[in-house]
Structure 1
Amino acid sequence: MAKRTAIIDIGSNSARMIIIERTSRFGFYLLEEVKSRVRIGEGAYENGGLLQPKPMERGYRALKEFLNIAKSYKVRKILCVATSALRDAPNKNIFLNRIKKELKLNIKVIDGEKEAFFGGIAALNLLPIKDGITIDIGGGSTELALIQNSKVLNTISLNLGTVRLKELFFDKGSNIKDAIEFIKKELEKIPDNFSQELAIGIGGTIRALSKSIMQKNQYPLDKLHAFEYELNKEIKYIEKIINSPTHKLKKFYIKKDRFDTIREGALIFAEILKYLNIKKIITSGVGVREGVFLYDLLRNSNYKFPYNFNPSVKSLLDRFCLNEKNSKCFYKNASKIYDAINFLFDKENRFKNHLLIAAKLSNIGIKIDFYEHHKHSSYIILNDLEYKVTHKDIVLISTLIRFHKKKLPANSYIKDFKKLLPSLDIVNWLSFILTLAEIINKDLSCPKFEIFYENKILYIKSENELYLAKEEIKNIKKPAPFAIKFIS
């Protein structure tokens, strides 16, 4: 597969392109993202689905410049798909043939079920979920995928979209009850087996609603992907947005470029959530474009990453890890120490995986600068550890890395993320283990050692002298009163 791949998604409302760079077999990261509100479906739903000349011209111009961007990045492969507006259009070949002839770009028009499947595989591979229902609200249609036990079991496409609803009801000043009746009739097509408590929200409308909720609640982490909330706590707020006049949407932290379709999208979303009896929503920052990429990348592995594989962790190691041997030793040491003393603070083994990811990534900040590299590492984790982890996971891993230099986490730092962190006692123990794991390998020889805890003494037994480690351990801060003794 090409090292750099561009994926273009032409929706009814927007055309978007992402460029992804692969760092290894399954490691990758986002290199570029560009969007154009071409509104290619504008006027189509009032004219029997026919694409109109001006929107087609906007689409052509946007794609032409998308390809210029892809060329500047030396992209080797371009995957381009089109969804609702084009698949519904009787005259779509006029647009498709022009793009192929003049821009040499092949556009694949996908059906609603395939669109839903792409959203489903993006969610199950890049979010910390095993079960749920994806809801992807576009301009012309809404796609749902049923995920159970990390598999996409069923998909459906509904003729519900923000632009469609806007042109059929909102622009004509119709009663909102007419729009709701239209939505409810379409929802009756959803199969009975679509039953889950978790909804995975995909698309611009749902991301805009999540951003609004985050700002309203003064959420401590500025990260949209994997943001979660309970519906019963936010449904009234969503309903206020639906019923708000356009000129008052700003007070809900809605960006101006969303004013024209946010109420339509919020109405569709709210009605689907009620119909499916959803309890909890997790926001997806990925969707059809990432699904198209993963469909190509994972075609020989049943469209799933290997068990316990995290593409973000792998990508960070590929890009920033200077010494793979030391990283593996750090990981091994942290695991051994945790297993020896976790009975003191984490008997259920809830936080071992967080510790081990922190051990793998602790020193990636050296690639930025050696001095204060633990702070650089922590910042990279907080902002770039993206996939297959919750916000609580990200904050804990980042915090452990930030304070793995002989001192325990500072209260002034902890208080900013208090909502997302476990108890201070657990954070202190994990931070101590991470620090000790690195100190034991101070001479970078990855010495063999045994470790056990008895009568408030932590014994470290090794045939190696561990001279530098013994010297440094004198200054390490401990999470509880106990001694550390070395045994030859």
Structure 2
Amino acid sequence: MAKVTAVIDIGSNSARMAVFKKTSRFGFYLLREEKSKVRISEGAYENGGNLQDFAIERAIKALREFLLIAKSLKTRKILCVATSAVRDAPNKAEFLKRVKDELGLKIKVIDGDKEAFYGGVAAANLLYEKNGVTIDIGGGSTEFALIVDKRIEATISLKLGTVRLKELFFDKGDIEGAKKYIKNELEKLGKVFDSKKVFGIGGTIRALSQAIMKKIEYPLDILHGFTYEIKEHKDFLEKIIKMSDEELLKAGIKPERLDVIRPGTLIFLEALKYLGAKEVITSGVGVREGVFLTDLLRNDNYRFPDNFNPSVRTIIDVYQIDRKIASYETKIALEVFDLLKEEFKLDDKYKMHLTYAIKLSRAGELVDFYEAHKHTDYILLNSLHYGFRHCDRLLISKIIRFHKRKKIKKKEIEKFKCLLPKKDIVEKLCNIFWVAKLININLSMPQVEITFSKKDKKIIIKGENLYLAKERSKTRELFFDLEIVNN
């Protein structure tokens, strides 16, 4: 597979390009993303579905510049797909030919099931939850994919789109007609797409999540993986349908989405009601990532290997982390954790946080050795993008940020109280992390066995080449007694 791949998605409302760079077989990161509100579907639904000349011109201009950007980034492969508005257009052949002749770009028009499949591949591989139903609201259609244990079991595409409903109903003030139309389309779902968890894909759902985050003063400015209970925000979402443009702007809706957010919200609410969903997990990924991953994982059943996380692997690749050292220090941390967990009531679930904190802790050293813990905190909080809950990535990053202290200032984690465990738990995990780093202070990864034991409330660690560790241990007060014996 090419090292740099560009994926272009021509939707009914926007054309977008995402450029991905591989760091290893399965490691990758987003190199560049561009968007143009070409609205290829504008005027189409009132004209028999035909793409209008002015919309085609906008699309060609945007695609021309997308290709210039891709070329400048040394892109070796360009995958371009078009969805609802183009596939439904009687004159789509004319559009495809113009793009091929003028730009040399071949567009693959995908059907609704394929579009739903791509969204499902992205959600199944890049969100933390294994089971759920994707809802991908676009300008011309809405796609659903049933995901069971990270496998796509069913897909469907309905003619429910924000631009479609805007032109057919909302522009005419016929909200009741829109509701009836939506309900009729949703009946096609049947009982197959049954899940209490929804993976929300697409600009409408992302915009609604951002509005909810603003409303509740959410402490992280991270959209992918943001999760909320529907019952807590149903009234707010219903109000959006009736808000004026001014009220929508105050609620955090961006100007370019004002004309389609109302029909999009109505589609979303009716879909949630039909499914009987209880929880929404916001997806920052969709068709573009799905196209990329389908290509990347084409020989692996469109799934990453078990226990593989692409964000973790990418950080290891980019920041040149020594995995042998990381594995050794992880082993130390888990040995100490197991000795302490019963007495200090530490849940086994925190082993995961300690493991990732240790494995990725040296990322910030590439920026600045002396302040590495601060830089790593920032890197992980903003780069552990895929496969983690917000609470997990926050705890992992804060263990590193505060590991040099016995006590953390209350004000430093107060704003994260809805996501972090109690302060004393964080402090205990930080102490264990510090000991793991201390024992391997000389980075020797000794072949001689290091033994761990516990006597009363004291942890005893014995081994060779522990002189520096023993000396340094006397400078730090921990929540448990520590004795280091240098043989």
Shorter-chain TM-score above 0.5: yes
Runs (4+) off by over 4 Å: none
Shifted more, 325-334 versus 227-236: the winner is 325-334
Which amino acid is 1:119 matched to? G
After TM superposition, list the pairs within 5 Å mapping 1:16-415 onto structure 2: 16-174=16-174, 176-346=175-345, 348-405=347-404, 407-415=406-414
CA contact (8 A) 1:143 1:158 kept: yes
CA separation in 1, counterparts of 2:2 and 2:477?
A: 48
The alignment partner of 1:426 has SS state of helix
TM-score (norm 1): 0.97
CA contact (8 A) 2:144 2:156 kept: yes
Structure 1 position 451 matched with structure 2 position 452: yes
The alignment partner of 1:189 has SS state of helix
Which amino acid is 1:433 matched to? I
CA separation in 2, counterparts of 1:322 and 1:162?
A: 45
Give 5+ residue unaligned stretches, structure 2.
none
CA separation in 1, counterparts of 2:343 and 2:192?
A: 44
CA separation in 1, counterparts of 2:47 and 2:269?
A: 28
CA separation in 1, counterparts of 2:3 and 2:340?
A: 43
Which amino acid is 1:229 matched to? Y
CA contact (8 A) 1:40 1:59 kept: yes
Give 5+ residue unaligned stretches, structure 1.
none
1:242-292 deviations in Å (ceiling 9; x for gaps): 111223211211111111100110010001001111100000000000000
1:7 maps to 7
Change beyond 3 A, Cα 1:428–1:371: same
CA separation in 1, counterparts of 2:135 and 2:431?
A: 42
The alpha carbon displacement at 1:77 in A equals 0.5
The alpha carbon displacement at 1:348 in A equals 4.3
CA contact (8 A) 1:408 1:477 kept: no
Which amino acid is 1:144 matched to? F
Which amino acid is 2:247 matched to? K
CA separation in 2, counterparts of 1:441 and 1:408?
A: 23
Shifted more, 245-254 versus 55-64: the winner is 245-254
CA contact (8 A) 1:461 1:486 kept: yes
TM-score (norm 2): 0.97
Kindly report the root-mean-square deviation, in angstroms, between the aligned alpha carbons of the 2 structures. 1.3
CA contact (8 A) 1:457 1:485 kept: no
CA separation in 2, counterparts of 1:430 and 1:247?
A: 47
CA separation in 2, counterparts of 1:181 and 1:72?
A: 48
CA contact (8 A) 1:341 1:452 kept: no
2:437 maps to 438
CA contact (8 A) 2:122 2:285 kept: yes
CA contact (8 A) 1:210 1:227 kept: yes
Change beyond 3 A, Cα 1:426–1:70: same
CA contact (8 A) 1:49 1:85 kept: yes
1:136-178 deviations in Å (ceiling 9; x for gaps): 000000000001122110000000000000000111222x111
CA contact (8 A) 2:470 2:486 kept: no
The alignment partner of 2:42 has SS state of coil
The alpha carbon displacement at 1:426 in A equals 1.8
The alpha carbon displacement at 1:465 in A equals 3.7
CA separation in 1, counterparts of 2:346 and 2:413?
A: 23
CA separation in 1, counterparts of 2:246 and 2:405?
A: 54
